[in-house]
Chains A and B, each alone.
Chain A
């Protein structure tokens, strides 16, 4: 079945460092890909999404490009801030429903001032 694999955490960076969180997927069709973020004590928020190959999703300085040839959707940010500390989830949807989402295991990111 469909699945998502993302890099193990925790990831600890200094403020203004470059961030990459790797994500690869396995899917039989043409899924939509997402990055969700979960701040402490809160639910998930959609950070960005891409619905077809070569699409780039972006939001709040974060970017991710849907790479069909490498089945990847890596999350990047050029200069992280302390406020970016959270857990990040890569996810896919097979397109049958908004709710049937398959999530990766999550990557905890901590940013040092």
Chain B
């Protein structure tokens, strides 16, 4: 069974641009969540999608948004990029996102903002 796939693996953007990251969950998983990992702030929860609806949200500005498609694939968008958005963005999937379920993480997309 294929794992969680994130594309692209690396991205370089400049300030003010926008970026879209993609995540394909494990087959059969309907919950997809996103995390930002930085050396200064560590790992922080961005949001979770289930059945094409955002179900949970962390404390990030509105520049960070996402969506989920009917096949459970998810995209995350960051608009008006800032230097501080440079980070490893991790996606995780689970069957239904129910408390106690195991999360499966992708290898991440490394975003560098210049």
A residues sitting closer than 8 Å to B (CB atoms) are: 32, 41-46, 51, 89, 93, 95-106
Contact between chains at A97 and B56 (CB < 8 Å)? yes
Binds A, one of B14-22, B63-71, B75-83, B89-97: B89-97
Is B103 within 8 A of A99, CB to CB? Answer: yes
A-B contacts at CB below 8 angstroms, number: 64
**Interface 1/0s, chain B 11-48, versus A by CB < 8 A?**
00000000000000000000101000000001111001
Interface pairs (15), CB distance under 8 Å: A32-B99, A42-B107, A43-B108, A44-B105, A89-B43, A96-B99, A97-B48, A98-B33, A98-B94, A99-B45, A99-B94, A99-B103, A103-B42, A103-B44, A105-B42
User: A43 to B100, Cβ gap below 8 A?
Assistant: no
Are A106 and B42 in contact, with the CB atoms below 8 A? yes
Task: Give Cα distance in the complex from A99 to B44, angstroms.
Answer: 11
The secondary structure that dominates the A interface is loop
Range for the number of chain B residues in contact with chain A: 20 to 34
Which residue numbers of B lie inside 8 Å of A, CB to CB?
4, 31, 33, 42-45, 48, 55-56, 58, 90, 92, 94, 97-103, 105-108
